[in-house]
Amino acid sequence: MDLDLGAVRAFVAVADEQHFGAAADQLGLTQQGVSKRIAKLEAGLGAELVSRGRTGTGLTEDGRAFLPHARALLALADQAVGSLRARDRPLRVDVLATRVCPTELIRSFHEANQDAKIDIISSKGLRTVRSGLLSGAIDVGFARVFGRLEPGIEHIPAYLEPHHLLAGRKHRLAGRRRVRPDELADSIAWMPGNEPGSEWADLYADFRRDFGLTISTTGPNFGFDHMLDQIAASEDRFTFGGEKMRVPWHPGIARIPLVDPVPLYPWSMLWLRGNRHPLLPRLIEHIRAGYTPFDPDRQWLPAADRPLFAS
pLDDT in tens, 172-227: 999 999 999 999 998 999 999 888 889 999 999 999 999 999 999 987 888 899 99
Q: At what angle do helices 5-17 and 20-27 cross, to 10 degrees?
A: 130
CATH of domain 5-84: 1.10.10.10
Q: Where is 200: in which H helix or E strand?
A: helix 199-211
CA dist., res. 163 & res. 171, Å (int) = 18
pLDDT in tens, 138-167: 999 999 998 899 999 999 999 999 999 999
**275 band by pLDDT with thresholds 50, 70 and 90:** very high
> How far is residue 3 from each of residues 11, 31, 34, 41, 74, measured CA to CA in Å?
12, 21, 15, 7, 11
d(CA 42, CA 48): 6
pLDDT of residue 227: 92
**63 exposure class (CB count in 10 Å sphere: 0-12, 13-18, 19+):** buried
Which residue ranges make up each domain of the chain?
5-84, 89-311
DSSP annotation of 231: H
Please report the pLDDT score of residue 87 as a whole number.
58
Which residue intervals of 237-305 are DSSP H helices?
280-290
Examine the pLDDT at 85 and tell me if it is beyond 60. no
pLDDT score of 254 more than 60? yes
Q: What is the pLDDT of residue 91?
A: 97
CATH class of 89-311: alpha beta
For residue 160, give every residue at least 6 positions away whose Cβ sits within 8 Å of its Cβ, in sequence order, or none.
Answer: 264, 265, 266, 267, 292, 293, 294, 299, 301, 309
pLDDT at 83 over 70: no
Q: How far is CA 258 from CA 230, 232, 242, 255, in A?
A: 21, 19, 10, 10
Q: How confident is the model at residue 86 (pLDDT cuts 50, 70, 90)?
A: low
Q: Are 5-84 and 89-311 in the same CATH fold? A: no
Length of the chain: 311
Band of residue 310 on the pLDDT scale cut at 50, 70, 90: confident
pLDDT class for 120, splitting at 50, 70, 90? very high
Strands 140-143, 262-272: parallel, antiparallel or unpaired by DSSP?
A: antiparallel
Q: Hey, which residues does 107 pair with through a beta bridge? A: none
